[in-house]
């Protein structure tokens, strides 16, 4: 019967699709992290290799994930103590990326290659009193174990954003919709990219002015990005951008004068259409 044959053809097509899925190379390991004021709900142990951190922000504040790789047997407590002591960033800690903030009640993700070792997951976003969330207890120690699985290809990016001292260089104009953005630090200092859709009439400078002590609603909508990575490192931001005017921002303090990098030029207006 005609219908039966059509149904059989449909089943055969479905089987082909399933077969194709099975032969697709494995993707990055996905780790879901829930952030809230002021804690992370995250695993204590994560396998080495390409890892997509999916950050679910339960709010009420903005949060991100800044991964810190700890060397020399140092712990997350040592890192927090070093932050409290002030001074230059400790040599035994390196910034290993992570997703920059989505809106409260929303989620975003970023992919990084995790080397085995000891890590701290922290949030540098300042509270309304100006104190970074990490100093309010937003720190989660974890271990990365094992060897990276072989044959997991790096994510395929459709846009590259180079972080330089002090600018964002885009390989192509950003268009509305889903993107995997490869973020490369081609500068001499740690950098990040926060992707923020500007509220009508607002500028990147308005974001900078608001961010130091974020009282009241942001003059824009947080759309993710990649938190701090070291010079020479790269990571990927997975975003879904509505059209609009955007600010690309780096909030890292400058190694020389301590001012945030956006003051030095890492506050770029980008039109997404
Ligand atoms: Cu920077």
Centroid of ligand 1 to alpha carbon of 37 (angstroms): 26
pLDDT value for 25: 67
Specify the pLDDT at position 24: 66
CA 103 to chain centre: 13
How far away, in angstroms, is 251 Cα from ligand 1 center? 6
**pLDDT one-digit tens code per residue, 222-240:** 999 999 999 999 999 999 9
CA 272 to ligand 1 center in whole angstroms: 22
Interatomic CA distance for residues 38 and 194, integer angstroms: 20
Residues 6+ apart with CB under 8 A from 49: 28, 29, 113, 114, 147, 148, 149, 152
Q: Ligand 1 centre and the CA of 64: distance in Å?
A: 16
- Any idea which residue has 């396998």 for tokens? 47
Q: pLDDT tens for residues 237-269?
A: 999 999 999 999 999 999 999 999 999 999 999
**CA 3–ligand 1 middle distance (angstroms):** 62
Q: For position 212, what pLDDT does the model report?
A: 77
CA distance 108 to 203: 23
| Alpha carbon separation from 78 to 35, 73, 113 (Å, rounded) | 22, 10, 24
Provide the residue-wise pLDDT of the chain in tens; the chain has 273 residues.
344 454 444 444 444 444 445 556 689 999 999 999 999 999 999 999 999 999 999 999 999 999 999 999 999 999 999 999 998 899 999 999 999 999 999 999 999 999 999 999 999 999 989 999 999 999 999 999 998 878 899 999 999 999 999 999 999 999 999 999 999 999 999 999 999 999 999 999 999 999 877 888 889 999 999 999 999 999 999 999 999 999 999 999 999 999 999 999 999 999 999
What's the gap in Å between 5 CA and the centre of ligand 1?
Answer: 61
CA atoms of 180 and 68, how far apart (whole Å): 23
């Amino acid at each position: 019967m005609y219908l039966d044959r059509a149904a059989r053809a449909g089943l055969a097509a479905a089987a082909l699709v399933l077969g194709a899925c099975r032969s697709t190379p494995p993707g990055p390991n996905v780790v879901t992290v829930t952030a809230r004021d002021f804690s992370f709900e995250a695993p204590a142990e994560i396998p080495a290799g390409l890892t997509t951190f999916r950050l679910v922000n339960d709010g009420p504040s903005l949060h991100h994930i800044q991964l810190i790789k700890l060397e020399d047997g140092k712990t997350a407590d040592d890192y927090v103590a070093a932050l409290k002591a002030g001074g230059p960033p400790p040599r035994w800690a390196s910034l290993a990326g992570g997703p920059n903030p989505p809106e409260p009640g929303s989620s975003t993700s970023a992919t990084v290659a995790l080397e085995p070792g000891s890590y701290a997951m922290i949030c540098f976003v300042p509270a309304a009193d100006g104190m970074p969330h990490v100093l309010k207890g937003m720190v989660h120690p974890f271990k990365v174990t094992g060897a990276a699985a072989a044959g997991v290809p790096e994510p395929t990016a459709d846009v590259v954003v180079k972080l330089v001292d002090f600018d964002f260089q885009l390989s192509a104009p950003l268009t509305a919709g889903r993107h995997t953005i490869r973020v490369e630090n081609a500068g001499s200092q740690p950098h990040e990219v926060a992707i923020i859709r500007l509220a009508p009439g607002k500028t990147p400078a308005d974001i900078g002015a608001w961010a130091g002590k974020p009282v009241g609603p942001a003059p824009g909508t947080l759309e993710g990005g990649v938190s701090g990575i070291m010079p020479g490192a790269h990571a990927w931001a997975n975003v879904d951008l509505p059209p609009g005017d955007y600010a690309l921002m780096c909030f890292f303090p400058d190694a020389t004068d301590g001012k945030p990098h956006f003051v030095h030029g890492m506050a770029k207006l980008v039109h997404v259409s």
